[in-house]
Amino acid sequence: MKSKVLFVDDDAMVLAGLKRQLRNKFRIETALSGEEGLKRIEENGPYAVIVSDFSMPGMNGIEFLCRVKETDPDSIRMMLTGSADMSTAIQAVNEGSIFQFHPKPCPADTLGQAIQSGIDVYRKTKTDETQFKKVQRSLAQASMIQQNLVPKSNPQIEGYDIAGKSIWCDETSGDYYDFLQPGEWEQEKIGIVVADVIGHGISSALLMTTARAFFRERVLSPGSSTALVADVNQRLVRDIEELNLFITLFYSEIDIQEKCFRWVHAGHEPAMLYDPAEDSFEALGGEGLPLGVMENCVYRESEKQLHPGQIILIGTDGIKETHNEQNELFGAERFNRVIRDHAHKPANEIIKEMFDALASFRFPVERKDDETLVVIKVL
């Protein structure tokens, strides 16, 4: 199908000649003034290429093409004129974003080649826009799917107040948190996963989704927490060992009745235990490589007896590594201050205070990393 080209000139004879010379190559439409040209664009557009004369009564060519730039920015704009002085050419290019500038009279072959070049640019632009819109739709769908994988609600466990939240820096996230409590555990314990996939974007989101599926499948089988983490690691290594991707992980289980906290550390940010009674912070870390690095990695379990009033905080490095306009890090000291100042509040409000503090500290710098935090209060 021939591409549509609009010629605007106040000389009807010139328009007739152009239409006669170029009609076999392009679908030519004409207008005798800038005002008529704008009306045609509104009623019959879009046009791949719009060619305007400069000297026209009422609205000159530069004024017309500037209006076109606003109403139909994707069109390729060209100018034909007998007023071929340098200042006119500069003004046309700067103000109207002219693709090409040709003096009158312009040979039909030269003009035809120029128009075809403009059409090629127009088609590429429209193709790129179509591809970009497809990518945007795919990202929106991926984001919606991933959002549906985030825990719908916080667990209700007698003797504990538990909450979690994740804020993403992109449409999709490499952060992952989950609460695991299959029926076979009979309210005796709850598993809590916080993980961070290296990097951002779709690849990290896909890996996070894969890890979530592995955990939710493996937790239904018997075995210790170290066996669970080791099995998930083996499966991930087999899938991603050639992709240079990995996941840092903090997997923990709360023995609900015995008030015992057990955890497996796999290259992740240590959790923090805050005891308001002693105003003390203790890092809950350990040894262990991130998931996806080495297939036969051995993981170890640590444990801590819990007491009423204590608070456990499991997050990703996007919190403490948030930086402000002066390139200062939010850091451990500010993190601890927020916890200390709001320790008396429910878990979900502590999370809100943390994210509010991060937003205030970071402003006006944009979020550069995902931020995830799980808070466990012992009642």
Task: Assign residue 108 the CATH number of its domain.
Answer: 3.40.50.2300
Question: Considering only CA atoms, which of 358, 372, 370, 272 is closest in space to residue 323?
Answer: 358
What average pLDDT is seen over the chain? 89
**Structural domain for 188, as ranges:** 150-378
In a domain, 143, yes or no: no
* CA dihedral for 325, 327, 331, 333, sign (positive or negative): negative
Question: Using 50, 70 and 90 to split pLDDT, how confident is the model at 99?
Answer: confident
pLDDT tens profile 170-207: 776 788 899 998 877 878 899 999 999 887 777 788 88
pLDDT value for 34: 92
Q: What residues form DSSP beta bridges with 263?
A: 252, 302
CA distance 177 to 192: 7
What are the strands of the beta sheet with 371-378, ordered from one edge? 160-167, 371-378, 311-315, 271-275, 280-284
Domain count, the chain: 2
Co-location of 221 and 258 in the same domain: yes
Q: Calculate mean pLDDT across residues 144-168.
A: 88
255: pLDDT confidence band, cut at 50, 70 and 90? very high
Q: Phi and psi dihedrals of 120, rounded to 5?
A: -60, -45
Q: Tokens at residue 138, please?
A: 């795919």
The pLDDT score that the predictor gives to residue 42 is 92
Structure tokens at 142: 């991926």
Looking at the structure, do residues 315 and 230 belong to the same domain, yes or no? Answer: yes
Same domain, 239 and 365: yes
Distance in angstroms (rounded) separating the CA atoms of residues 7 and 11: 11
Q: Is residue 127 part of a domain?
A: yes
Predicted pLDDT of residue 304 = 96
Of 218, 207, 227, nearest in space to 180 by CA = 218
Considering the domain architecture, whether residues 81 and 164 belong to the same structural domain is answered as no
Split at pLDDT 50, 70, 90, the class of 254 is very high
Residue 358 has what pLDDT? Answer: 96
Q: Is 324 exposed, middle or buried (0-12, 13-18, 19+ CB in 10 A)?
A: middle
Identify the pLDDT of residue 79.
87
Q: Which residue has the tokens 């060619």?
A: 51
In-domain check, residue 222? yes
Predicted confidence (pLDDT) per residue in 10-49, tens digit: 999 989 998 999 988 999 999 999 999 999 999 998 999 9
pLDDT at residue 96, as a whole number = 56
197/328 same-domain check: yes
pLDDT of residue 250: 97
Distances, alpha carbon 349 to alpha carbons 132, 161, 176, 342, 344, in Å: 39, 11, 20, 8, 10
- For residue 142, pLDDT over 90 is answered with no
Residue 371 has pLDDT above 90, yes or no: yes
Does residue 181 lie in a domain region? yes
- Could you tell me which residues come within 8 angstroms of residue 177 by beta carbon, excluding any fewer than 6 positions away? 150, 151, 164, 166, 192, 193, 194, 195, 314, 372, 374
Same domain, yes or no: 285 and 314:
yes
* Domain C-terminal end among 76, 100, 131: 131
Lowest mean pLDDT among 133-142, 233-242, 263-272: 133-142
What is the model's pLDDT at position 280?
Answer: 96
Local confidence band at 84 (pLDDT 50, 70, 90 cut-offs): low
Is 244 in the same domain as 99?
Answer: no
Res 94: pLDDT: 58
Question: What are the pLDDT digits (tens) for 274-290?
Answer: 999 999 999 999 989 99
Q: What is the dihedral of CA 144, 196, 237, 204, to 10 degrees?
A: 40
β pairing state of 189-197 and 175-180: antiparallel
Q: Which of 163, 196, 202, 325 is nearest to 267 (CA)?
A: 196
Secondary structure class of 137 (helix, strand, coil): helix
- DSSP codes of every residue in 276-288: TTTTEEEEE----
Q: Are 19 and 1 in contact (CB under 8 A)?
A: no
CA distance 314 to 373: 6
Residue 137 within a domain: no
pLDDT number for residue 90: 61
CATH number of the domain to which 270 belongs: 3.60.40.10
* Residue 137 scores a pLDDT above 90: no
Question: What would the two tokens of residue 54 be?
Answer: 């400069």
Once rounded to an integer, what is the mean pLDDT over residues 126-149?
77
Q: Is residue 139 part of a domain?
A: no
Cα–Cα distance for residue pair 206/246, rounded to 1 Å: 12
Alpha carbon distance 34, 297 (integer Å): 73
Task: Report pLDDT for 83.
Answer: 60
Q: How many CA atoms lie within 13 A of 269 on its CB side?
A: 25
DSSP 110-127: HHHHHHHHHHHHHHHHHH
Q: Are residues 74 and 209 in the same domain?
A: no
The answer on 166 and 116 residing in a single domain is no
Question: Are 125 and 177 in a shared domain?
Answer: no
Question: Do 120 and 154 lie in a common domain?
Answer: no
User: Does residue 103 sit within a domain?
Assistant: yes
Whether 140 is covered by a domain: the verdict is: no
Give percent of the chain above pLDDT 70. Answer: 94
Query: What is the reported pLDDT for 201?
Result: 72
**Residue 343, pLDDT above cutoff 90:** yes
Residues 220-249 pLDDT 10s: 888 899 999 999 999 999 888 777 789 999
Residue 85 in this model has a pLDDT that exceeds 60:
no
Answer yes or no: are the C-beta atoms of 194 and 227 closer than 8 Å: no
- The answer to whether residues 123 and 26 belong to one domain is yes
**309: exposed, middle or buried (C-beta count within 10 Å: 0-12, 13-18, 19+)?**
middle
Question: What confidence tens digit (pLDDT) does each residue in 292-342 have?
Answer: 999 889 999 999 999 999 999 999 999 999 999 999 999 999 999 999 999
Comparing 61 with 273, the larger pLDDT belongs to 273
CB atoms within 10 A of CB 42: 10
Mean of pLDDT values over 202-222: 86
